[in-house]
């Protein structure tokens, strides 16, 4: 950070780095701590640049503390991070005055060093309750985040210097191109980081989801078991939804989402979306649906339009209490499909009718914050609707008066001859098919294997690409479920080597991976995979795809025999 800039200017510039709210939200979710902050530390002051406060700690961006009252003074002196799970059990900090002064029991703080080597400040997380920390994962996460923050701060300096040079030199055009290139590289690194973050989050979620499915299948049915498994499944789905939303917002912001436009019946699509979130409307919360008897046709992307509907319903359920209601109504008027989702939940103040659609925005009251989420769902709704040539608006009579979201989408004329209905696959009945699971995450391979065995399949697992190839040659399974991000021999090369063998031509190979962007799916297809599923995969989806691909392989094999 340029030392000649006033401190207030430095704080203000860092405060507006776009990625900081996302990083702080991830820190709170990963550590379980309710307060996260990026701070500028000087010789006498500790100043908050950007804050995420879920515990009403009371310190906002721009707030200052005397440096001598903080543990960050020690970090400034030693350049070493501090991790405290329980202040009262810490030999070093049990008598330290800072925890008692500010009322926290657990604490994490890592130094932020700029690429020049200059100490800038700290990335901190605190909570009034003790916590248990996975030290290795926390160090990896905070180290990656402090480097990313330092990189963005350095880019601010680079851009500031470029602006100054543009006013003094004739080569303005060249300098602007250089600045654009720097920003492009910064975006690329951010995208790579988000993709890696999604992959690392999806891998453990895959293990948890398979474990829950095992419990659901193997446990004696009972109210307590069903309630616990249902609760954990909902939380896994919630985490998966947030990861997907985070990546989708990033792609839409850069214009990298291309709609796969086709003629779709919005009535059928809404019905399917409702079924996908039906579990949210249980234990008293009710969903009232009013749909037209005839079709409403749009030219649109069925997957993205379904995402609009599910995000609106999820939003309604999240901000409505357990005895509340959500109403969905769809009708056709003046060449538009009009979708209205209304709830009797916490409502909206008038000044947030527009801002509620902005990134990382939530209703500004304690109840809304207690409901969680990253504030991405409605942003996606707005941008996806606009990509379809439509518009969306929010209305509310005020706080505690419920909210109404109205979507307008242009329709197309009805064409006689019927509607192509979406194909609904049903899981094939499990037989004695041989399946090989290859995943370097032993827990993920084991739990998925156990689940498939409970479904009646013969399953073998391996934890490396080379061991997987050997097992495939010896056992020649009908299907292989193959991870991508493995050491030594990754999933792409493993699949290529299997396809090079005569015995590997007719095996169904499905990528089961934490990488789910469009370019990842293109790479798996080029490597010879038959299908691509993103972790944590739903068992029904996996069985449907596997049954479909096995049927196609068998049909192609029989066709080849007839030709010969």
Fold (topology level) of 262-410: Heat Shock Protein 90 (3.30.565)
Helix (H, G, I), strand (E, B) or coil at 261: coil
DSSP 8-class letter at 240: H
What's the CA gap between 522 and 532, in Å, rounded?
Answer: 9
What Rg do the C-alpha atoms of the chain give, in angstroms? 27
SS3 content of the chain, % helix, strand, coil (to 5): 50, 20, 35
Beta strands in 169-274 (DSSP E): 262-265
Biggest distance spanned by C-alpha atoms of the chain: 84
Q: Are 465 and 442 in contact (CB under 8 A)?
A: no
pLDDT score at 226 = 62
Token look-up 């402090």 returns: 146
- Count Cβ atoms within 10 A of the Cβ of residue 535 and give its class: 0-12 exposed, 13-18 middle, 19 or more buried: buried
311 neighbors 381 (Cβ within 8 angstroms):
yes
Q: Which helix (H) or strand (E) holds 463?
A: none
Beta strand spans in 193-303 (E)? 262-265, 286-290, 297-300
Distances (CA, A) of 394 to 389, 406, 533: 18, 7, 35
Identify whether the C-beta of residue 328 lies closer than 8 Å to the C-beta of residue 290.
Answer: yes
**Does residue 16 carry a pLDDT above 90?**
no
Give pLDDT tens digits for 349-377.
888 888 788 765 555 444 344 444 445 67
- Contact at 8 Å (CB) between 480 and 468? yes
Model pLDDT, residue 215: 67
pLDDT of 485 = 84
**Residues 299-353: tens digit of each pLDDT:** 998 888 988 998 899 888 888 888 889 999 999 999 999 999 999 988 888 888 8
pLDDT of residue 369: 40
Q: How far, in Å, CA of 457 to CA of 459, rounded?
A: 6
For strand 403-410 and strand 336-343, is the pairing parallel, antiparallel, or unpaired? antiparallel
Closest CA to 132 of 98, 204, 84: 84
Does domain 7-168 match CATH 3.10.110.10?
no
| pLDDT recorded at residue 261 | 85
**Residues 454-463 pLDDT 10s:** 888 999 999 9
H/E segment holding residue 454: helix 442-454
pLDDT at 368: 40
- What phi and psi, each to the nearest 5 degrees, are found at residue 16? -100, 15
- Give the lowest-confidence range in 213-222, 440-449, 467-476: 213-222
434-563: what CATH class? alpha beta
Residue 414, pLDDT > 90, answer no
Res 497: pLDDT: 95
Render the burial of 178-211: b for 16+ CB within 10 Å, e for the rest: ebeeeeeebeeebbebbbebbbbbbbbbbbbbbb
105: how many CB neighbours lie within 10 A of its CB? 18
Predicted TM-score (pTM) above 0.75:
no
Separation CA 58–CA 53 (nearest Å): 8
Here the tokens at position 350 are 């008038």
Cα-to-chain-centroid distance, residue 2: 35
Cα–Cα distance, 529 to 241 (Å, whole number): 25
Q: For residue 125, what pLDDT is reported? A: 93
Residues 6+ apart with CB under 8 A from 3: none
CA distances to 31, 38, 51 from 25, rounded to whole Å, are: 10, 12, 10
- Single out the residue of 513, 518, 511 nearest to residue 535, CA to CA: 513
- List the single range of 43-47, 344-348, 352-356, 400-404 with lowest mean pLDDT: 352-356
Tell me, rounded to whole angstroms, the distance of Cα 316 from its chain centroid. 20
Annotated domain spans of the chain: 7-168, 198-253, 262-410, 434-563
Domains 7-168 and 262-410 belong to one CATH topology:
no
CA angle 218, 220, 226 (to 5 degrees): 90
> What pLDDT sits at residue 370?
40
What local confidence, expressed as pLDDT, does residue 426 receive? 37
- CA torsion 362-368-373-379 (nearest 10°) is -30
Distance CA 52, CA 37 (A): 6
Q: For residues 410 and 334, is the Cβ–Cβ distance under 8 A?
A: no
Residue 231 φ/ψ region, left for φ over 0, alpha for ψ in the -120 to 50 degree band, beta for the rest? alpha
Q: Where are the beta strands (DSSP E) in 178-253?
A: none
Return the structure tokens found at 443.
Answer: 């827990």
Residues with Cβ within 8 Å of residue 336, at least 6 apart in sequence: 390, 408, 409, 410, 411
């Amino acid at each position: 950070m340029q030392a000649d800039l006033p401190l207030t200017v430095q704080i203000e510039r860092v405060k507006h780095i776009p990625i900081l709210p996302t990083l702080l939200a991830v820190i709170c979710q990963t550590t379980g701590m309710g307060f996260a902050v990026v701070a500028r530390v000087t010789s006498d002051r500790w100043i908050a640049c950007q804050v995420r406060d879920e515990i009403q700690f009371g310190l906002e961006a721009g707030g200052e503390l005397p440096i001598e009252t903080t543990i960050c003074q020690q970090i400034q002196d030693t350049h070493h991070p501090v991790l405290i799970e329980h202040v009262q059990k810490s030999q070093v900090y049990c008598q330290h005055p800072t925890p008692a002064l500010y009322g926290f029991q657990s604490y994490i703080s890592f130094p932020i060093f700029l690429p020049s080597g200059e100490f800038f400040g700290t990335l901190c997380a605190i909570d009034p309750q003790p916590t248990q920390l996975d030290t290795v994962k926390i160090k990896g996460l905070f180290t990656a985040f402090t480097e990313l923050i330092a990189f963005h701060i350095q880019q601010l300096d680079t851009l500031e210097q470029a602006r100054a040079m543009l006013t003094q030199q004739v080569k303005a055009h060249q300098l602007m191109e250089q600045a654009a290139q720097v920003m492009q590289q910064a975006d690329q690194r951010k995208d790579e980081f988000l993709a890696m973050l999604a992959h690392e989050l999806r891998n453990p979620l895959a293990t948890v989801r398979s474990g829950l499915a095992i419990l659901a299948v193997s446990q004696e049915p009972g109210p307590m078991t069903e309630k616990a498994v249902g609760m954990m499944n909902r939380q896994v789905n919630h985490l998966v939804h947030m990861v997907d939303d985070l990546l989708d917002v990033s792609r839409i912001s850069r214009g990298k989402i291309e709609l796969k436009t086709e003629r779709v019946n919005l009535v059928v699509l809404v019905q399917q979306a409702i079924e996908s979130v039906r579990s949210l409307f249980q234990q008293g919360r009710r969903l009232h649906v009013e749909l037209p008897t005839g079709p409403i046709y749009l030219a649109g992307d069925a997957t993205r339009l379904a995402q609009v509907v599910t995000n609106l319903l999820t939003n309604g359920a999240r901000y409505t209490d357990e005895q509340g209601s959500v109403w969905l109504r769809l009708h056709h008027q003046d060449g538009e499909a009009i979708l209205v989702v209304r709830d009797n939940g916490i409502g909206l103040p008038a000044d947030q009718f527009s801002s509620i659609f902005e990134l990382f925005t939530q209703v500004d009251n304690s109840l809304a914050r207690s409901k969680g989420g990253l504030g991405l769902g409605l942003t996606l709704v707005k941008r996806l609707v606009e990509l379809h040539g439509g518009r969306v608006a929010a209305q509310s009579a005020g706080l505690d008066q419920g909210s109404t979201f109205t979507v307008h989408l242009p329709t197309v004329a009805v064409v006689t001859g019927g509607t192509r209905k979406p194909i609904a696959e049903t899981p094939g009945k499990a037989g004695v098919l041989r399946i090989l699971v290859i995943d370097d995450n032993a827990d993920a391979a084991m739990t998925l294997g156990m689940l498939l065995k409970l479904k009646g399949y013969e399953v073998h697992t391996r934890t490396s690409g080379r061991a997987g190839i050997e097992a495939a040659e010896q056992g020649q399974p009908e299907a292989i479920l193959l991870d991508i991000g493995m050491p030594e021999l990754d999933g792409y090369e493993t699949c290529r080597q299997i396809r090079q063998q005569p015995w590997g031509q007719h095996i169904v190979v499905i990528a089961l991976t934490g990488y789910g962007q469009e370019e990842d799916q293109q790479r798996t297809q080029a490597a010879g995979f038959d299908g691509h599923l993103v972790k944590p995969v739903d068992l029904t989806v996996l069985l449907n795809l596997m049954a479909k691909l096995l049927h196609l392989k068998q049909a192609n094999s029989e066709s080849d025999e007839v030709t010969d």
